[in-house]
Amino acid sequence: MSRKHDHPCAIAEALNILGDRWTLLIIREAFYGATRFGEFLTNTGISRNLLTERLSQLVEADILERTPFADRGTSHAYALTVKGRALDTVVMALTEWGNSYLYGDGKEPVLARDKASGEIIRRIEPVTSDGQIIARQNIVIEAGPGGDGRTLSRISKAKSYPFAE
């Protein structure tokens, strides 16, 4: 993942960090409580050299924080930062999509449950600042303040309501 996307788009920039086969698996493990090199290694199946590289990229990107481990050897703990924990929606959205469309109801290997309602979590939704769910047909895409000419031409043909139906 050396060549990087260079156009003004949050997804492109995010993929410069997350866009490979392993990085989101490492982040998943971090959410599940893994902190040590060996835990990431065995729980994901990544090779040692790549894990070394990915962990340092994630530290560099301020998604994981590396702190010396008191107890043993040359150990360090890798823990999610605030920026890393903000990826919870990405992790949940991928989990939900994979469970629904790659495994299917009744075949999910791992589930997220809401302890309050007891329900399995099956919906991830955009909401307003006061917590109202935003209907897909009301969502429009527009150029933001950081956009440039290329951005405009890229999204100008976007459907008015790209996520509707």
Binding site for DNA (CB under 7 A): 1-3, 20-22, 36-38, 45-50, 52-53, 55, 69, 71-76
End-to-end CA distance of the chain: 34
Rounded CA-CA distance 126/117 in Å is: 20
Pick what 55 binds: a copy of itself, DNA, none; C-beta below 5 to 8 Å, kind-dependent.
Answer: DNA
Question: Shortest gap between Cβ of 120 and DNA (angstroms)?
Answer: 31
In whole angstroms, the minimum distance from the beta carbon of 37 to a copy of itself comes to 15
Rule CB under 8 A: say whether 75 interacts with a copy of itself.
no
Shortest distance, position 74 Cβ to a copy of itself, whole Å: 22
The one of a copy of itself, DNA, none whose footprint includes residue 37, by CB under 5 to 8 A per kind, is DNA
What's the closest the beta carbon of residue 65 comes to a copy of itself, in angstroms?
14
Looking at beta carbons only, is 15 or 92 nearer to DNA? 15
Rounded least distance, CB 57 to a copy of itself, Å: 14
| CA 115 vs CA 19, 31, 53, 120, 163: distances in Å | 32, 17, 37, 9, 30
**Which H helix or E strand runs over 80?**
strand 76-80
Q: Which of 123, 101, 106 is nearest to 114 (CA)?
A: 123
Partner that binds at residue 79, options a copy of itself, DNA, none, CB closer than 5 to 8 Å by kind: none
66 vs 56: CA distance, rounded Å: 9
Report the residue number, 47 or 89, with the smaller CB distance to DNA.
47
Q: Which of 49, 68, 71, 144 binds a copy of itself (CB under 8 A)?
A: 144
HSE-up of residue 41 (Cα within 13 Å, Cβ side): 9
Are residues 83 and 55 in contact, defined by beta-carbon separation less than 8 angstroms?
A: no
The reply to whether 72 sits near a copy of itself by the rule CB under 8 A is no
Which tokens in the block code for residue 152?
A: 């405009």
